Structure 1
Amino acid sequence: MGSLGQEIAELWGEHLGREVGVEDDFFTIGGNSLSGIKIIERVTEQYGVTLSVRDFYLAQTPARVAELIEQGRTGA
């Protein structure tokens, strides 16, 4: 099983229609507000963690979004 960062990269790839690496910047690889909202909704469904739009955009990479999910799971 891959890392959470890799799972998030794959999720982004589904919405952006391209390969995504764990350190790819969301906006640089073609992300926009609509795809961001859809990804945030999927994260909530799949991982039970609600990310704010602000936190998601500030995180910028799948690796950092994975860190936010881990923090959300532990209640940190």
Structure 2
Amino acid sequence: MERQAAPSSAPVSLGQEIAELWGEFLHCRIGPDDDFFTLGGNSLTGIKIIDRVAQDYGVQLSVRDFYLAQTPARVAELIEQGRAGA
């Protein structure tokens, strides 16, 4: 599935990209600081998101790290750390 660019010329932050990804799985509009569990996230959805992050961003997150991060912004930080360590 190909991502479409934002209509404005301003770049989309990685946190916002991850929020949009979560929205695909949680079927709601999500902001970078929204909490995964408060939004109704569960273990199956978490695993699906982790797999998609690995596909789209080339970073494998542990389930533990994903759950402790809890927000798209913090998951984006983990992705950046993973990219830097690669």
TM bin, normalised by shorter chain, reads over 0.9
Gaps of 5+ in 1: none
Corresponding residue for residue 52 of structure 2: 42
Any idea what the Cα deviations from partners look like across 1:2-59, whole Å, max 9, x if unmatched?
0000000000000000000100000001100000000000000000000000000000
Q: Tell me which amino acid in the other structure corresponds to 2:65.
A: D
Is 2:74 aligned against 1:74?
no
Distance 1:35 1:19 in 2: 16
Corresponding residue for residue 19 of structure 2: 9
Any idea what the Cα deviations from partners look like across 1:52-73, whole Å, max 9, x if unmatched?
0000000000000000000000
Corresponding residue for residue 64 of structure 1: 74
Question: Considering only CA atoms, is the larger Rg found in Structure 1 or Structure 2?
Answer: 2
Structure 1 segments (4+ residues) deviating >2 Å? none
Distance 2:59 2:81 in 1: 9
Distance 2:77 2:13 in 1: 11
- Matches of residues 16-27 of structure 1 in structure 2 within 5 Å? 16-27=26-37
Q: TM-score, normalised by structure 1?
A: 0.98
Distance 1:17 1:30 in 2: 10
Q: Which has the higher contact order (CA 8 A, sep 6+)?
A: 1
Gaps of 5+ in 2: 1-10
Q: Tell me which amino acid in the other structure corresponds to 2:20.
A: E
RMSD between aligned residues: 1.0
User: % of aligned pairs identical?
Assistant: 78
